[in-house]
Chains A and B, each alone.
Chain A
Amino acid sequence: DTGVSQDPRHKITKRGQNVTFRCDPISEHNRLYWYRQTLGQGPEFLTYFQNEAQLEKSRLLSDRFSAERPKGSFSTLEIQRTEQGDSAMYLCASSLAWGAGQPQHFGDGTRLSIL
């Protein structure tokens, strides 16, 4: 059973640089989510895709953030002109439609550190 895969696991970059993260969901899952988790907090919702359509974006997702899911398979999250406050764990999750009774399954995340 292949779970949700995220790459890279760690990213260290200088302030002002652009970064891109990748998420490969569980293959039969049509829903994909991005969350951000900072120290001492629970994950916070960023955005949600159903197949290739991005259906919701959180107010946390500033104009510097963009997410895509071409062809409804893997997804990328790009942060442009990174800032210190972007340092966090970025988590990806996938699920079947909730009506099927399936929960969101999370990857192990990408930890971003901004120098």
Chain B
Amino acid sequence: DQQVKQNSPSLSVQEGRISILNCDYTNSMFDYFLWYKKYPAEGPTFLISISSIKDKNEDGRFTVFLNKSAKHLSLHIVPSQPGDSAVYFCAALITQGGSEKLVFGKGTKLTVNP
């Protein structure tokens, strides 16, 4: 039972254009949503997060949008750069009874072509 779903295994865009990565979730108890970027042979690197009570958060070229009614979030990268090529993971934070953990999607491999 996958609580966080990234339905697109891969995405290819041209340099300078917008990249839109999508994520759906099923658990209404998630408190925060995060996006991580992962290069080969490295651990995931935090990019940006959004609280479940917000609908938008922006940090430079990265913007995350949250639609709670649709249980959907998206990461926009504008403009896309070749260095953005990586696997992007959507993750949801759940805190219960003094514990907390991240639940990850399977990832979307983004390729930005020069």
Residues on A lying within 8 angstroms of B by beta carbon are 4, 6, 31, 33, 35, 40-45, 48, 50, 55-56, 58, 91, 93, 98, 103-109
Q: A103-B49, A109-B43 are in contact. Are A43 and B102 (CB under 8 A)?
A: yes
Cα distance A93–B46 in the bound complex, in angstroms = 11
B44 lies within 8 A of A106 (CB): yes
Count of interface residues, chain B, beta-carbon cutoff 8 Å: 26
Tell me the interface secondary structure of chain B in the complex: strand
Closest to B104 in A: A42
A to B contact number (C-beta, < 8 Å): 56
The chain B residues found within 8 Å of chain A, CB to CB, are 4, 31-32, 34, 36, 41-46, 49, 89, 91, 93, 95, 98-107
Interchain CB contact (< 8 A) of B43 among A31, A50, A58, A91: A91
Known pairs A4-B43, A42-B89, A56-B101; list 16 more (Cβ under 8 Å).
A33-B101, A41-B106, A42-B104, A43-B89, A45-B101, A45-B102, A48-B99, A58-B101, A91-B43, A91-B44, A98-B32, A103-B46, A105-B46, A106-B43, A106-B44, A108-B42
